Structure formats: C-alpha cells, structure tokens
Amino acid sequence: MALLIHFPMNSENIDLAIVGGGLAGGLIALAVRDYAPQLTVGLFEAGESFGGNHRWSWFEGDLDARGTKLMQRFRKMQWSGGNEVRFPAYSRCLQSDYRSLGSRDFDLALRRELPQSAIRTCAKVMGLDSEGVTLSDGKRVAAAMVLDCRDAQPSEHLTGGWQVFLGQNLKTDRPHGVDRPVIMDAAVDQPGAYRFVYLLPLSDDEIFVEDTYYADSPQLDAPLLRQRIADYAEEQRWRFQVLHEETGVLPVVTGGDFSAYRGSLAQPGVALAGAKGGFVHPLTSYTLPIAVENALAIAEAARENLARLPQLVDERAKSHWQRTAYYRLLGKMLFEAAEPEERYRVFERFYRLPESLIERFYAARSTPLDKMRILTGKPPVPIARAMKALLGKGAPLVQGK
C-alpha cells in the first residue's frame, strides 16, 4: 500500500508534486498514472505547455517492452529504414530503426492521458520543501512527496564541455531526397569544435535540420548557426521556408564531485530527479531511455511507499554516475586531448565499430568488452595529450568559463 498523508480541508493537498514538466517529469507523471492510479498528482510547469521547445530521439532497441508501452501514448516519428552517419573519410548506413518525439506531441499526450487535476501549466514554483510547493502567486500546495525534475543548471562541482545546437524545421519546395535519419553528417567544416548536422526527414518535403557543436564554450551564436543551416541547405539545392526553430546548450560532463553537486541542490525530504539530478548520458546528452527507465522505477516505488522516493532516487543517481564513468573518460579525451577541429576523428573512428556496440553505447549499456574494443587500436588523439587530459582536472561547467 502507498503511504498517504491527509491534510486539513482548508488547504489544497495532493500526494505527489512533480516540479518541472519536461521529459523526466512528464514521463514520471504518466508512469505513476499507470502503476499507482490511487495517488493524486500535480505536474507543475512554469511554461504554457509541457516539454518546452525540444525534440527527443532514440533507437528502437533502447527500450524494453515496458518502456515501449509507456511511449506508445505519444504520437512520434518512426523510421524503419535504419539510419546513417557521414564523415570526411566515409559514410555508413546502420540498421537500427529510429524514433523521435517533438514537445508539441509530448504536451498533447500528457493533457489527454493525465487527470485534469494533474495539469498545472503556467504554474511557476518559487519554493519547495518536503511538505509541498509554493507558487509564484503565493499559493501553497501541500504534498506528501515532492519530486524536483527541473532543468539542469551549470555547476562548479562538475567539469566538461558543452553541446550547443540550433535546429529548424524546413519546408522545401520539392522533395528533399533524404529517406532516413542522418544521426551525424560530420563531412562539414569543423570551425573550432566538433560540428555535425543532424537530419530527420519528417515528410517528403519537410525536414528537421540541426547544427550541433561539441564546444569548449556554452555560447550560442544563433544568427551564425542559422546561416550555416541556410548554407547547408543551399549545398543540397533546397529552397525552403522555416516552420519552427529550437535551440539548446547542454552540459557534456567529463568529471567532478557528484556528491558535492547533488549536495548543493538537495533539500531534505525532496527527491531530485531528471537531468538536474544527473540522469543523462554524460557524453551524448542522450536522455530518453534513461528518463523512461527512471520513470518506471519511481512509479513502482511510489505505489508501495512514497516516503522512500528521496532515498531511492538518490541511490539510483549514485549508481548511474558510477556506471557512466567510462563515458565521462571518453568525454575528457574528446575535450582535452583532441584539437577542436580534429575532434571529429574520435567519432569517425568510433562509427567503424560493430553496430551492436554502437547501440549499447548510446543506451549507456556498454559491456566490458565494448569498452576495451573502443580504446584498442590506433588512438584518434595524440598519446601525450591523452595522458595529460586524464591527469587534468578539466574545465568547470559554469556559464562564461
């Protein structure tokens, strides 16, 4: 039985307050609806819609049966023709089918699937604690348990670099000719960062084009990236109009003191989840498979005992940090051992490896043999620089540093 706490009749009270209506928070709310429907839930989002302005993608094999079932509620793009990568030295077609979910469809599904009482958009949380949340209008909502799933923030306790991107939905005046997702087109100029173009064919004459950089700086020059997308489209001989645009600056974590990081954000009795809680792939910033897995675990625990959630989520965060140490090591090599304009060689070499290894890498499930295989052979970075990188502390993940 779930632990239910009853509050005075003169105040609003719910069982579970989820603060942050992004991917993590939304999936947790949906999973709790499935596994613990007796609980009253509030999904608090400061914006007008859930999910913000984002797109999340994953490979079909990243999710198990339960995860696939959870994601069935969402309208999404699905490609059955595999995917492609392009580098200066070669291109490769991979067999894994790809999926992608836009934030508009994420919002629509949550509004359809969740009880109306759970929909709390335009509800900015100014304060939270173990007994509830306080909104910007001064309203207090008491809760038996609070989950903080808000966006990740830069931190002096973590080190690494940045993934900076700008994406546009383009409507072309004729079929664009791209018939499968292109995960990385790195056969483009490398201007002081690892740059690649990401392509998702949404229809015969609509395509999502994202210009992405693994950069030392978190600065996003939107006009420059728009021009580079326009130049790329011109090279493809596309005439187009822009239907939609999104941007992002994500931390690529290569090290740091995770206990100090979570300690700087923790509040007694509040469960800290989502990207803010450290639940991301540290090298790729890939989140959906991790968010799905976490949502299911949290929902199952909530069905049994809400009071245990802070401990459960903290244990899962520490375990995730430990099992993703290898990817932080690779990120450290990428940012500190490779010259910015030569970083593409790391991925160029990686994508020559067996496809099953690549799939496990993206899902953060690399086997010991996978890890050995990735590091064997001729290194794509100078050995002396690699050793120096491994011994260095790395750059703090703070804006402006």
**Higher confidence at residue 211 or residue 61?**
211
CA distances from 371 to 237, 319, 368 (A): 41, 18, 5
In a domain, 390, yes or no: no
3-state secondary structure of 111: helix
In a domain, 54, yes or no: yes
Please indicate, yes or no, whether the overall pTM of this predicted structure exceeds 0.95.
Answer: no
In a domain, 280, yes or no: yes
Residue 379 has pLDDT above 90, yes or no: no
pLDDT of residue 382: 55
pLDDT of residue 119: 97
In a domain, 296, yes or no: yes
Q: Which residues of 95-133 are buried (b: 16+ CB within 10 A; e: fewer)?
A: ebbbbbbbbbbbbbbbeeebeeebbbbebebeebeebbb
In a domain, 87, yes or no: no
In a domain, 148, yes or no: yes
What is the CATH classification number for the domain harbouring 300? 3.50.50.60
**Which pair of structure tokens corresponds to residue 8?**
């005075």
Residue 12 — pLDDT band, cuts 50, 70, 90? Answer: confident
Beta-ladder partners of 185: 86, 197
In a domain, 27, yes or no: yes
pLDDT tens by residue, 14-29: 999 999 999 999 999 9
Residue 342 neighbours by CB distance under 10 Å: 14
Residue 5 — pLDDT band, cuts 50, 70, 90? Answer: very low
**Higher confidence at residue 39 or residue 3?**
39
What is the number of structural domains in the chain? 1
Instruction: Give the range of the structural domain holding residue 300, as residue numbers without chain letter.
Output: 13-77+101-155+256-323
In a domain, 161, yes or no: no
Using alpha carbons only, give the angle 66, 67, 68 rounded to the nearest 5 degrees. Answer: 90
3-state secondary structure of 104: helix
Residue 321 has pLDDT above 50, yes or no: yes
Residue 387 has pLDDT above 60, yes or no: no
pLDDT of residue 386: 52
Residue 105 to residue 107: CA distance in whole angstroms: 5
Average pLDDT over residues 295-299: 97
Residue 400 — pLDDT band, cuts 50, 70, 90? Answer: low
